[in-house]
Amino acid sequence: MPELPEVETIKRGLELRIVDRTILLITVRNPNLRRRVPTPALRAAAGAKVTSIRRRAKYLIFELDTQRAILIHLGMSGRLSLVAPETPLSKHDHLLFGFEGDIELRYHDVRRFGLVLLLSFAELAVHPLLSHLGPEPLGRGFTTDYLKAKAAKRKIPVKSYLMNSRIVVGIGNIYVNEILFAAGIHPLQPVGEILETEWDALRTAVRKVLRTAIGRGGTTLKDGQFRNASGELGYFQQKLCVYDREGEPCVNCAAEIVRITLCNRSTYYCPICQG
DNA sequence: CGGTGGACCTGCTGGC
DNA sequence: TGCCAGCAGGTCCACC
């Protein structure tokens, strides 16, 4: 579900409510996520205070005042929500974090592709899940020169390239489609043959699409899956130009949006604007 | 090494 | 109405 803008939106919502608060109780109802949740270690983190919340790629990192951190990835269907403790539990509420001040943070994940780990700061600094990640697309390391250099001589489609977290993090299947539309580049374009002049457009499109989506609180599709930490919907879906618009008219040229499968995922583009 | 495709898991939708 | 194939925001790993 969540790509960078959704994770960032959740992070911002959580920050306001739980930084500087102490965790009173951690309950693991179902430890079977992508990796098994380390229940005893995690439960033992109760009593610690959250000193800050960071985002790296699509990971959330809750730093504690005990030199440890809770690392959370939401996978495809994970949700984090702040609720009153008396709120009825649902089937897929797998972890509960009870905070002082009558606030409960719930991790909910239907498909259980997510991840929750407890790591020391030292472990976090060298953790293989994080150590191979490329630069943040909204950070300084994401330059046109970097993007171009990494692509040299490679034949993979530009869509696969942008979705590869070793190249750049945070871009998933919704935003990659929108980014390529904004840049006017065909998703199958071999990345090693992208023109000199197109690289700037591509970098600009990455940053603009992600920034705009964050500004609009992420994307909530028809199924209503994505919510921020307070349960509110995003509204970037109103700005989607190609994603899930097969057969509908292009917003620029009115040609029909085409859908193909690439990297085993639905891929949408305008055959004229991205020709 | 670079690139592709399947596996992980549950639930919803649409066609027959 | 019921059944079943196909699909869904991500990531990792085995295999060519």
pLDDT digits (tens, 9 = 90+) for A6-36: 999 999 999 999 999 999 999 999 999 999 9
- What pLDDT does A89 receive? 97
Helix A196-215 vs helix A173-183: crossing angle, to nearest 10: 130
- What pLDDT does A216 receive? 98
Contact of A240 with A219, CB cutoff 8 Å: yes
Q: What is the average pLDDT across A197-223?
A: 97
- What pLDDT does A275 receive? 85
B6 nearest neighbour residue (CA to C1'): A264
Distances (CA, A) of A38 to A26, A27, A107, A258: 12, 11, 15, 44
3-class state of residue A269 by DSSP: strand
Q: How many residues does chain A have?
A: 275
Contact of A161 with A154, CB cutoff 8 Å: yes
Specify the nucleotide whose C1' lies closest to residue A161 (CA).
B3
User: What is the DSSP secondary structure assignment for residue A192, as one 8-state letter?
Assistant: G
d(CA A14, CA A107): 13
How far in angstroms lies nucleotide B16's C1' from the CA of residue A265? Answer: 26
Assess whether A233 (CB) lies less than 7 A from strand C: no
Q: Which nucleotides of B are covered by protein (CB under 7 A)?
A: 2-13
Residue-averaged pLDDT of chain A: 97
Specify the nucleotide whose C1' lies closest to residue A78 (CA).
C9
Confidence band, pLDDT 50/70/90 cuts, at residue A245: very high
Assess whether A9 (CB) lies less than 7 A from strand C: no
> In this structure, what token pair is assigned to residue A184?
């006017």
Q: Which residues of A111-126 are buried (b: 16+ CB within 10 A; e: fewer)?
A: ebebbbbbbeeeebee
Assess whether A234 (CB) lies less than 7 A from strand C: no
- What pLDDT does A179 receive? 98
Neighbours of A80 (CB within 10 A): 24
3-class state of residue A261 by DSSP: strand
Q: Is A222 exposed, middle or buried (0-12, 13-18, 19+ CB in 10 A)?
A: exposed
Residue A264 pLDDT > 90, yes or no?
Answer: no
Q: What are the residue numbers of the active site of A?
A: 2-3, 58, 265
The pLDDT tens digits for A168-197 are 999 999 999 999 999 999 999 999 999 989
How far in angstroms lies nucleotide C8's C1' from the CA of residue A1? Answer: 8
Assess whether A34 (CB) lies less than 7 A from strand B: yes
How far in angstroms lies nucleotide B7's C1' from the CA of residue A264? Answer: 13
Residues of A (166-185) placing their beta carbon closer than 7 angstroms to any atom of strand C are: 172-174
- What pLDDT does A197 receive? 92
Q: What is the average pLDDT across A203-230?
A: 96
- What pLDDT does A163 receive? 97
How far in angstroms lies nucleotide C5's C1' from the CA of residue A6? Answer: 30
Ramachandran category for residue A243: left, alpha or beta (phi over 0 → left; psi -120 to 50 → alpha): beta
How much of chain A exceeds pLDDT 70, in percent? 100
Closest to A127 measured CA to CA, from A114, A135, A117, A136: A117
